[in-house]
Chain A
Amino acid sequence: MTRVRDFSITQKLTWMNMLVSGTALLLATGAFLGYARVVYRQTMVRYLTMRARVVGANCVSAVLFDDPKGAGDTLSALRADEHIVGAWVYTPQGEPFAGFWRDGGGSAPRMPAIAKGKPEAFWFANDQLMLIRAITFQGKLTAFVFFESDLNELRERQVRYLEIGALVLLASLLTAFLASRFFGQFVARPIRALFDTARAVSHDKDFSIRAAATDSHDEIEVLVRAFNEMLEQIQERDEAVRKSAASLAEAQQVAHVGSWEWNVETDRAWWSDEMYRLYGVEPGEFAPSLENALTRIPPADREMVRKGLQDGYEGRKPIDFDHRIVLADGSERIVHARAAVAAAEPGKPVRVVGILQDITARKRAEIAVRKTEEMLRFFVRHAPAAIAMLDREMRYLVVSERWITDYRLEGRSILGLCHYDVFPDLPEPWHEIYERCMRGAVETCEEDPFPHPDGTLDWLRWEVRPWRNVDDSIGGIIIFSELITERKRSEEELRKSQLQLAAVIETAMDGIIKVNEEQRIEIFNPSAETMFGCKASLALGRPLDFLIPERYRDAHGEHIRLFGESNVTRRTMGKPGIVWGKRANGDEFPIEASIAQAEVAGRKMYTVILRDITERKRAEDTLNKRTEELAQSQQTLEQKVQELARSNADLEQFAYIASHDLQEPLRTVASFAQLLQRRYKGKLDSNADEFIHYMVDGASRMQGLINDLWAFSRVGSRGKEFAPADFATIVELALSNLQTAIAESHAEVTHDPLPTLKCDGAQLAQVFQNLVGNGIKFHNSQSPHVHIGAIRKDSEWVFSVKDNGIGIDPQFNQRIFEVFQRLHTRKEYPGSGIGLSITKKIVERHGGRIWVESQPGEGANFLFTLPA
């Protein structure tokens, strides 16, 4: 078959013709032979039947009258027919009656049967036709005739037919061959020429080539003409395509739109020149594919691009998205991608055609616009005024935060709502104002009361004006309003304070004068009138100078100038606090003045407050004289104090020395008295024992007194330098000294957190020891509880030692601090009565005070202070 396909048209034509004619002939011959055979057989049968009938009829009488010879004669007529091989007549009983075989030999065959009801039967066997026929005579079966005929004639005829067929076949094949050759010239050659032209066109893509015309007027000529016309159209179209491709490329370049195409089945992609330009690549160096394109897309966008395309290919949603492209120089480009997907069936894309549009400029402009818009919105929102922008239907477009707060709309989202819905109770005049502004009017109001639903009243300053679209049509209105309630109130207050000030100025005891930069009087109050004996009407507008004595005027002017240059806002005038004024009648008088300056609108103003101190000056003079006298007497007093101190010190020194020096003889007395008592107790009479006891007792008491006195005297003279000391440690020390007493009386001693102060620690320990010891000592039936407190009060610490003991009658509050003062007998509470005196002395040495707060039976609270 391949070989046939490669045949030239001429060969094909030849073969075709020969094949057709050959096949037709063969088929015809075959059909004819078959038909001839059938027809021949039918004819043979018919012929034999006819013969059988004739012979049968001729034999009837022979059979009926038993004349085999006669029948044989009749049959032998058949010998003339060379195809009859044998002929026999049978009686109706099937017995052979007469007949012959052509070859002479053999007996009659057994009579073949005939199907019942049929007049004859025939069959072919061994190239022979056998036929038997029943012969009736006058409706009665009379005999059977049997023939056997050969078919040699048929065979001869068939051979003849075949010979003729073969001859005709040869002749027709030859004719077909020659005819194909001949007509092939008129078919194949022009087609060949056409073929060569077509190949040249397709190879060179030169559509200007034309096929040569043929001289025949058949379909081939039409074909050639059509081919040339087609070429012409293709040439035109090619030209048009070339042009439109060029203009498309140009258009793409101008519009910055690239286009691409992807054939899914072949997986081939095509990019327009502008596509390459958008990606900043050269067509020759960059294979157009998604993977290559992705390398130029920033990583952040890649997944989005991939997914966007995939969704598009699978038909989930259209391909329509923006992404960025990074160029070789690092700059970015924003592009908009769109594509149409041609799918054979949903989800099976066949071809994708897309565009890529450079929208960098638009995107940047959009961003700029958005930014501007955002800024504008921000500006409006944060403007320190209530601003609302509404559209023609009075819906809120943008409002400032102040609008929300001023109109108490916090927590409501009003953007998009209608102004009238937000303020359903808006008075009718407002509707009219808005409508006028919608028509282009600008309305303002400086002060307008705005009652709130809750009954409060705000004051507004407002302005309503239309805003316009780009085409100058009115797009809506802008409402600007300022809540001036505060301003209104402050104005009110200012007026009030001005009135008050005026009243103050009017009624002030001091003269008040206000001058401007040129020193001209602007305010001159009644007191000043009285002071200077000059009516305000005469003073106002005049220079201040006329109120100053001539000799001070220059100095005063300089003074004011310097003050004006300084930044001091107010001060007293005059070094000694006194300046001199001049009354209208020329009298001079002393004045105490203070001056204040203020700058209002760039101009200096000075306010001077004056007080006529003539009287005070006089009183001061008297006072000065007295003070001088007092100073003299004080000096005398100081001398006396010094003397007293000296004598006090002497006394202290004496007490110290005395108590120290007295100790030695006293110790001797006591020692020997005790020795006497030990050695001679019971050896002398009873009186002697008693006397010795009194002597020992007295001596030991005296020793105690002397020790106390010594201690007391040492407080002032033998004190240490003050140093910072922790009072907790001090109290600790004091309590350790009282350990025995505390243990014996089961006392409880507590204290607050205690400070660290500069003091003589040993002496302060003495103080706490004395006070706590007293607290424990003077207990009643309860077990003693003493608490030490410490509170800072201003510049000093207040310490307290509070007990739950017997308490002190307030009448003894002072006495208990005196030396050797006791409220109880020695028997009741032992002690020399000097402890509190020492305590007081130590506290006072530290610059503190000590006192007691107590009621009998309610415990005592000793308090003392120390400077912090």
Chain B
Amino acid sequence: MIRRVGKLSRISLAIAAVAACLLASRTLAIATAHTEYEVKAAYLYNFGRFVEWPQNSAASHENEFTICVLGHDPFGPALDATISGEKIDGKNVVARRISKVEEAAGCRVIFITPTKGGQMKGILAALGNSSMLTVSDMPKFVEDGGMVEFVMTEERVRFEINLTAARQVGLNLSSELLKVAARVTQAPIQGE
């Protein structure tokens, strides 16, 4: 077999490549060619996969894994396309767009748009101790007590993590996630 690798393996390589392409059409992945929000949408989804929610949280009783977008939706169709058909912990991933923080009940991940930046502290406070992963691309989000903040480094979408904030609400972030984070802070949440 080994000696005949040349031809056979070339054929199998071609087949595998085709298969990989087919797979790719159904899978979200990061690509530099993607727009910034397409990448961010994928990150939202992926964050959900690296986070453990507490067993008794309100969201855990929901039947769906809900990603909420608070405020003006910057993703366009990218978020829906990303999560369409995906599951996390056996639950269908859905996106919900909300305009008020009060509507955030049952969300696992909540992306807070910059348009509401002025009110960030209020939003975070309103969320209180709800077990929600808060994500935003608002600068200084983590310093403000947010958990994950998208940052652009060398034209790449990176993120910083406020581990303390996450632990405060009982979220357990995987080391893998921490490993790829641009910065992990353990600063205390302001206001305490």
Contact = CB atoms under 8 A, between A and B. Distances in A.
A62 B180 CA distance: 6
Contact of B159 (A65, A92, A121): A65
A93 B24 CA distance: 6
Interface in B34-72: 39, 43, 46, 49-50
Given A65-B46, A66-B156, A125-B2, A91 B13 contact: no
A73 to B, nearest CB: 9
Nearest to B32: A66
Contacts of A141: 23, 27
Contacts of A58: 176
Contacts of A140: 27
A125 B158 CA distance: 40
Nearest to B27: A92
Contacts of A110: 13
A679 to B, nearest CB: 190
B93 to A, nearest CB: 12
B30 A116 contact: no
Contact of B19 (A116, A124, A138): A116
Given A112-B16, A113-B14, A116-B19, A93 B29 contact: yes
A562 interface: no
A114 B43 contact: no
Nearest to A94: B20
B17 A113 contact: yes
Contacts of A112: 9, 12-13, 16
A65 B180 contact: yes
Contacts of B50: 61
Nearest to A127: B2
Contacts of A114: 16
A549 B5 CA distance: 184
Contacts of A93: 20-21, 23-24, 29, 31
A92 B20 contact: yes
A66 B30 contact: yes
A123 B23 CA distance: 24
A759 B158 CA distance: 205
Contacts of A70: 179-180
A111 interface: yes
Contacts of B9: 112-113, 123
A138 B177 CA distance: 14
A93 B21 CA distance: 6
A462 to B, nearest CB: 126
A414 B16 CA distance: 122
Contacts of B12: 112-113, 115, 121
A399 interface: no
Nearest to A129: B2
Contacts of A63: 30
Of B12, B17, B179, most buried by chain A (CB within 10 Å of CB) is: B179
Nearest to A110: B13
A67 B20 contact: no
B23 A92 contact: yes
A116 B15 contact: yes
A138 B180 contact: no
A124 B13 contact: no
Contact of A125 (B5, B19, B174): B5
Contact of B15 (A62, A64, A66, A113): A113
Interface in A130-146: 137-138, 140-141
Contacts of A138: 49, 88
Nearest to A71: B180
A64 to B, nearest CB: 5
A60 interface: yes
Contact of A92 (B1, B29, B157, B176): B29
A756 to B, nearest CB: 151
Interface in A51-110: 58, 60-67, 70, 91-94, 110
Nearest to A69: B180
Contact of B30 (A65, A113, A123): A65
Contact of A123 (B5, B39, B43, B49): B5
Nearest to B12: A113
Given A91-B29, A123-B2, A138-B49, A67 B16 contact: no
A140 B50 CA distance: 13
A694 B149 CA distance: 238
A115 B159 CA distance: 36
Interface string B166-192: 000000001011011000000000000
B29 to A, nearest CB: 6
A138 B20 CA distance: 18
Contacts of A67: 158, 180
Contacts of B24: 92-93
A62 to B, nearest CB: 5
Interface string B80-119: 0000000010000000000000000000000000000000
A137 B2 CA distance: 31
Interface in A114-172: 114-116, 121, 123-125, 137-138, 140-141
30 contacts: A60-B176, A61-B50, A61-B174, A61-B177, A61-B180, A62-B180, A63-B30, A64-B49, A65-B30, A65-B46, A67-B158, A70-B179, A91-B29, A92-B20, A92-B23, A93-B23, A93-B29, A94-B20, A111-B13, A112-B16, A113-B13, A113-B14, A113-B20, A116-B19, A121-B12, A123-B9, A138-B49, A138-B88, A141-B23, A141-B27
Interface of A: 58, 60-67, 70, 91-94, 110-116, 121, 123-125, 137-138, 140-141
Given A92-B29, A93-B20, 19 more contacts: A61-B174, A61-B179, A65-B43, A65-B180, A66-B32, A66-B157, A67-B158, A91-B31, A110-B13, A111-B13, A112-B13, A112-B16, A113-B13, A113-B20, A115-B15, A123-B5, A124-B2, A124-B5, A137-B49
Can you list the 7 inter-chain pairs with the closest CB atoms, starting with the nearest?
Answer: A113-B16, A61-B176, A66-B30, A113-B13, A124-B2, A93-B24, A65-B180
